[in-house]
């Protein structure tokens, strides 16, 4: 019998990382700017930019740091209003607060994507920048969002933390806005424990971000040559020191060639489990929008026709059988429920997003899971829904 898999353990790190780390430990060369050139962090930036087809990449300590630096590099004034979806991780509005700006939340639909009517309405409220958080890799309608933003000259930052490998109409997510930010935290497609990277084609923006990330004195010369852009900013900007260490880059680089396979496996696994779950009258997995090709390492679904009590009973039932389900709005102090972001300078009410969060479930599906393990997960979820909603049938009494 196949046991429920541990969905929180990660993929093993490829053996090539060991050699690179051993060499770093021998030389003690852990700081990205010690070597004259070709430090692991610099090589990672070049490889990542090539992988995504962008001009510039800057590796930093986390995706949150990348979002913060993006906002600072846009040169937003204090108290600038930044529009973002009401369904995201607390670190995203936090990055806005960190940058001395004011987060403004818009509604998100039952399909976890930005509600375009509310988005457009809130754009009228003196918005200076937009962060589109592709939460759990779900891509909002980027054609509509970019058209609305471009018409008003408002820059878009993509929070692509969980979207590495996702495409929209054949283009890489993270390359559609002015700047895109990715995460290498352990629950993302590439795992370094911690780490982030921002990508852009904007030389001036990346120059500012590089300096603020901690390229003090003339360390910026170790980045692809952008002399005009840099010369203007020398000594003009604060140094926030959010650099990546060579050790992290050594862990990340050998994973990059595995990305395509991970994306394919993750999508196949997700779509298999989604089809099984959609056979239940009590579970709905929203479809991707047509231009999106997803790169999932988890699955989200909505419970249908259940009250709060039934939803909680469903979670208790699945956990008793070995699959932990997070219900974004019902688990205590959840960092993805906007009403828990009590640090927000302005707290809106978002009835539609709130209703979605009260029924939306989250289960990790690491890309390494086997078909038998996926079946175990799907059956536990399906049986739990039946046990809660149709106990007579489930237990055959």
Ligand X SMILES: *Cc1c(COP(=O)(O)O)cnc(C)c1O
Task: Using the minimum distance from each CB to ligand X, give the nearer residue, 51 or 382.
Answer: 51
Residue with token string 């959010």 = 242
Q: Is 92 a binder of ligand X (CB under 6 A)?
A: yes
Query: How far apart are alpha carbons 388 and 338 in whole angstroms?
Result: 28
Q: Is 49 a binder of ligand X (CB under 6 A)?
A: no
Q: Is 183 a binder of ligand X (CB under 6 A)?
A: yes
Terminal-to-terminal C-alpha distance of the chain: 25
Choose the stretch contacting ligand X; rule: CB under 6 A; options: 76-84, 87-95, 111-119, 259-267: 87-95
Let me know if 72 is a catalytic residue.
no
What is the phi/psi pair of residue 111, to 5°?
-95, 15
Region for residue 372 given its phi and psi (left: phi exceeds 0; alpha: psi -120 to 50; beta: otherwise): alpha
Query: How far apart are alpha carbons 243 and 59 in whole angstroms?
Result: 7
Least Å distance, CB 69 to ligand X, is 12
Least Å distance, CB 180 to ligand X, is 12
Task: Using the minimum distance from each CB to ligand X, give the nearer residue, 39 or 88.
Answer: 88
Query: How far apart are alpha carbons 187 and 302 in whole angstroms?
Result: 22
Q: Is 294 a binder of ligand X (CB under 6 A)?
A: no
Q: Is 161 a binder of ligand X (CB under 6 A)?
A: yes
Q: Is 248 a binder of ligand X (CB under 6 A)?
A: no
What is the phi/psi pair of residue 308, to 5°?
-55, -40
Q: Is 133 a binder of ligand X (CB under 6 A)?
A: yes
Least Å distance, CB 242 to ligand X, is 11
Q: Is 176 helix (H, G, I), strand (E, B) or coil?
A: coil
Task: Using the minimum distance from each CB to ligand X, give the nearer residue, 127 or 135.
Answer: 135
Do 205 and 74 contact (CB within 8 A), yes or no?
Answer: yes
Q: Is 155 a binder of ligand X (CB under 6 A)?
A: no
Please state, as a whole number, how many other Cβ atoms lie within 10 Å of the Cβ of residue 9: 11
Q: Is 147 helix (H, G, I), strand (E, B) or coil?
A: helix
Report the site for ligand X in 188-207 (rule: CB under 6 A). Answer: 196
Residues 6+ positions from 213 with CB-CB distance below 8 Å: 58, 60, 65, 69, 240, 241, 242, 243
Among 44, 63, 105, 131, binds ligand X (CB under 6 A): 63
List the structure tokens of 72. Answer: 């600072």
Choose the stretch contacting ligand X; rule: CB under 6 A; options: 7-15, 58-66, 319-327, 359-367: 58-66
Task: Using the minimum distance from each CB to ligand X, give the nearer residue, 20 or 160.
Answer: 160
Name the catalytic one among 72, 122, 128, 188.
Answer: 188
Query: How far apart are alpha carbons 238 and 241 in whole angstroms?
Result: 9
Choose the stretch contacting ligand X; rule: CB under 6 A; options: 59-67, 242-250, 283-291, 338-346: 59-67
List the structure tokens of 375. Answer: 């079946």
DSSP assigned state of 233: H
Q: Is 64 a binder of ligand X (CB under 6 A)?
A: yes
Least Å distance, CB 67 to ligand X, is 7
Query: How far apart are alpha carbons 146 and 114 in whole angstroms?
Result: 13
What DSSP assignment string belongs to 56-83? EEEEES-HHHHHHHHHHHTTPPTT-EEE
Least Å distance, CB 66 to ligand X, is 8
Choose the stretch contacting ligand X; rule: CB under 6 A; options: 17-25, 85-93, 115-123, 363-371: 85-93
Do 223 and 32 contact (CB within 8 A), yes or no?
Answer: no
Choose the stretch contacting ligand X; rule: CB under 6 A; options: 5-13, 156-164, 289-297, 353-361: 156-164
Q: Is 135 a binder of ligand X (CB under 6 A)?
A: yes
Least Å distance, CB 223 to ligand X, is 21
Query: Which residues of this chain interact with ligand X, rule CB under 6 A?
Result: 62-64, 88-89, 91-92, 133, 135, 159, 161-162, 183, 185, 196
Q: Which residues are catalytic?
A: 188
């Amino acid at each position: 019998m196949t046991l429920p898999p541990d969905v929180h353990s990660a993929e093993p790190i490829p053996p090539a990382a060991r050699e690179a780390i051993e060499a770093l430990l021998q030389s003690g060369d852990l700081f990205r700017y010690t070597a004259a050139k070709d430090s692991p962090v610099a090589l990672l930036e070049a490889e990542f930019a090539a992988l995504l087809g962008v001009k510039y990449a800057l590796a930093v300590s986390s995706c949150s740091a990348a979002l913060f630096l993006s906002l600072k590099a846009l040169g937003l004034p204090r108290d600038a209003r930044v529009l973002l979806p009401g369904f995201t991780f607390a670190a995203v509005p936090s990055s806005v607060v960190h940058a001395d700006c004011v987060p403004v939340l818009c509604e998100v639909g039952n399909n976890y994507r930005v509600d375009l009517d509310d988005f457009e309405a809130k754009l009228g409220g003196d918005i200076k920048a937009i962060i589109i958080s592709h939460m759990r890799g779900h891509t909002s309608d980027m054609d509509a969002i970019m058209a609305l933003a471009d018409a008003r000259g408002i820059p878009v930052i993509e929070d692509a933390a969980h979207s590495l490998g996702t495409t929209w109409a054949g283009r890489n997510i993270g390359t559609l806005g002015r700047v895109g930010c990715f995460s290498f935290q352990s629950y993302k497609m590439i795992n370094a424990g911690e780490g982030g990277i921002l990508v852009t084609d904007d030389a001036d923006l990346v120059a500012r971000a590089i300096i603020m990330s901690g390229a003090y004195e003339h360390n910026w010369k170790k980045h692809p040559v952008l002399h005009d852009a840099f010369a203007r900013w020398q000594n003009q900007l604060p140094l926030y020191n959010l650099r990546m260490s060579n050790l992290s880059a050594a862990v990340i680089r050998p994973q990059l060639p595995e990305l395509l396979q991970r994306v394919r496996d993750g999508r196949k696994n997700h779509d298999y489990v989604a089809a099984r779950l959609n056979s239940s009258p009590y579970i709905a997995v929203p479809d991707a929008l047509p231009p999106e090709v997803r790169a999932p390492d988890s699955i989200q679904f909505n419970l249908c026709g259940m009250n709060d009590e039934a939803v909680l009973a469903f979670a208790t039932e699945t956990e008793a059988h070995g699959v932990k389900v997070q219900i974004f709005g019902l688990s205590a102090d959840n960092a993805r429920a906007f009403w828990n972001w009590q640090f927000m300078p302005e707290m809106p009410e978002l009835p539609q997003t709130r209703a979605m969060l009260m029924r939306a479930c989250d289960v990790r599906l690491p890309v390494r899971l086997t078909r038998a393990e996926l079946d175990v997960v799907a059956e536990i979820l399906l049986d739990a829904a039946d046990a809660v909603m149709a106990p007579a049938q489930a237990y055959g009494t």
